[in-house]
Amino acid sequence: MNILGGEFLGFLNLNWQAAAMLVISGVLMWLGIARKVEPVLLVPIGAGCMLANIPLGGAAEPGGFLAILREAGIHTEIFPLLIFIGVGAMIDFEPFLQRPYTILLGAAAQFGIFGTFFLAYLLGDGWLHILDFSLQDAASIGIIGSADGPTSIFVSTTLQSKYTAAIVVAAYSYMAMVPIIQPPIIKAMCSKEERALKMPIVAGTISQRTKILFPIITVLVVGLICPKATPLIGCLMFGNLLRECGAVESLSRTAQNEMVNIVTILLGITVGGMMAGTEFLRPETILVFVMGVVAFSLDTVAGVLLGKLMCRLSGRKINPMIGACGISAFPMSARVVNRLGLEANPYNHLLMPAAGANTAGQIASVVAGGVMLMLVPMFA
């Protein structure tokens, strides 16, 4: 028996990559537990990362439980879709339905996805060849700009990107960092006068019939024009139908709570299990994280630019800041914009219109994911 040779004692097989990843796993868990940064995700991801990097543990090796979860939940794209049912059941689209024009802000804010995709491809196989980024990798990196974990997982897995783990971790990390990334950009683009602009209140509520028809119509419109987005938009809107139809309260509650919690645990620990040191610690991984900031920033810039245009066209009835909420990242960016509005004018409550643009961004980011899945194979 070769004990000292490392077949028995794990630490004898500890290379620098595994050691570094164990430290990173500790940081992720610390961020989640001590700093309360996306704890629901970072704690399972940190735990999975720790398990995957224990030498000879075999958790992430073929046949290990993390590898089995990866095959069953990530490669089949089941986990992100199940999460989307839960997300759909949690989202109230009423603020969006009160101001349906905010869907255009959601559309504009998806420019971050495509701008980052273009930049990543130029750095990779497209022109400079500095990094190992294929067209599929670049598209998967760009999708970080959807500010939406399940969409990022779905697209990067479907396109078989080498950087799925880094992309998913970046997507979830930057969602938590929206309150840090967005305010300086918004303040640089909008004067105090613009930030203080109040928006008219929309009186009355949306009828139950509209709320029930909305998810069905959205699936039909998006699915028939952009079929690759059907699984994502279908699951999101199915969850919302459970919520709004009023006939299946128990299913709605289960989707919002038990199901989404179970899948989040499994998804988190599986994503963490994909962070094996030898695969994760590459220069490209760092660039993926840098690109994530670029994507979120471009999203914000594009959304605010259209917000400014709509502000002018509407006779200053629309606060341009709500364009930043088209980024998705629900509900963080709506809270950011509401806070900035209150800072500029203590009576300026923008939460509802911002939440409308935010939920519109959720739909737009799913469509953007479907568009990427449609176009990239055509041009690859």
Partner 1 sequence: MLNALWVVLLGMAIIFAVLGVLLLVMTFLDRLVRPKEKKEER
Nearer to partner 1, 47 or 138 (CB): 138
Q: How far, in Å, are 94, 177, 349 from residue 149 at the CA level?
A: 23, 14, 28
Q: CB 206 → partner 1: shortest distance, Å? A: 8
Half-sphere exposure of 129 (CA within 13 A, CB side): 0
Token representation of residue 92: 């109230």
Pick one of 50, 69, 83, 107: the residue that binds partner 1 (CB under 8 A): 107
Does 209 help bind partner 1 (rule: CB under 8 A)?
yes
Whole-angstrom CA distances from 107 to 146, 313, 336 are 11, 18, 19
Give the burial class of 332: count Cβ atoms within 10 A of its Cβ; 0-12 exposed, 13-18 middle, 19 or more buried: buried
Is 318 a binder of partner 1 (CB under 8 A)? no
Q: Is 226 helix (H, G, I), strand (E, B) or coil?
A: coil
Residue number, 217 or 262, with CB nearest to partner 1:
217
Contacts of 273 (CB under 8 A, 6+ apart): 48, 49, 51, 52, 59, 60, 66, 67, 69, 70
Q: Which stretch binds partner 1 (CB under 8 A): 68-76, 176-184, 334-342, 370-378?
A: 370-378
Q: Does 345 bind partner 1 (CB under 8 A)?
A: no
Candidate ranges 58-66, 93-101, 177-185, 244-252; the one touching partner 1 (CB under 8 A):
93-101
**Contact residue for partner 1 among 106, 145, 239, 268 (CB under 8 A):** 106
301 binds partner 1 (CB under 8 A): no
Interface with partner 1, residue 214, by CB under 8 A: yes
Closest CA to 356 of 106, 131, 70: 106
Residue with smaller CB distance to partner 1, 42 or 298:
298
3-state secondary structure of 15: coil
Q: By C-beta, is 68 or 206 nearer to partner 1?
A: 206
Can you tell me the distance from the alpha carbon of 240 to that of 5, in angstroms, rounded to the nearest whole number?
56
Applying CB under 8 A, among 9, 12, 130, 213 the residue interacting with partner 1 is 213
Distance CA 356, CA 353 (A): 5
Span 249-278, contacts to partner 1 by CB under 8 A:
none
Contact between 67 and partner 1 per CB under 8 A: no
Closest distance of CB 289 from partner 1, Å? 21
117 binds partner 1, rule: CB under 8 A: yes
- For 353, other C-beta atoms within 10 Å of its C-beta total 28
Distance separating alpha carbons of residues 258 and 147, to the nearest angstrom? 24
Q: Tell me how crowded residue 253 is: count the other CB atoms within 10 A of its CB.
A: 14
110 binds partner 1 (CB under 8 A): yes
Work out whether 372 is an interface residue with partner 1 (CB under 8 A).
yes
User: Which lies closer to partner 1 via its Cβ, residue 122 or residue 293?
Assistant: 122
Site string for partner 1, 137-156 (x = CB under 8 A): -xx-----------------
Reduce the DSSP state of residue 318 to 3 states and report it. coil
Stretch that binds partner 1, among 43-51, 158-166, 219-227, 241-249 (CB under 8 A): 219-227
Burial bucket for residue 24 (CB in 10 Å: 0-12, 13-18, 19+): buried
Whichever of 82 and 298 has its CB closer to partner 1, that residue is 298
Say how many residues touch partner 1, by CB under 8 A: 51
Find the angle CA(332)-CA(337)-CA(340) to the nearest 5 degrees: 125
Instruction: Name the residues that contact partner 1, by CB under 8 A.
Output: 97, 100-101, 103-104, 106-107, 110-111, 113-115, 117-118, 121-122, 126-127, 135, 138-139, 200-207, 209-210, 213-214, 217-218, 221-222, 225-226, 360, 363-364, 367-368, 371-372, 374-376, 379-380
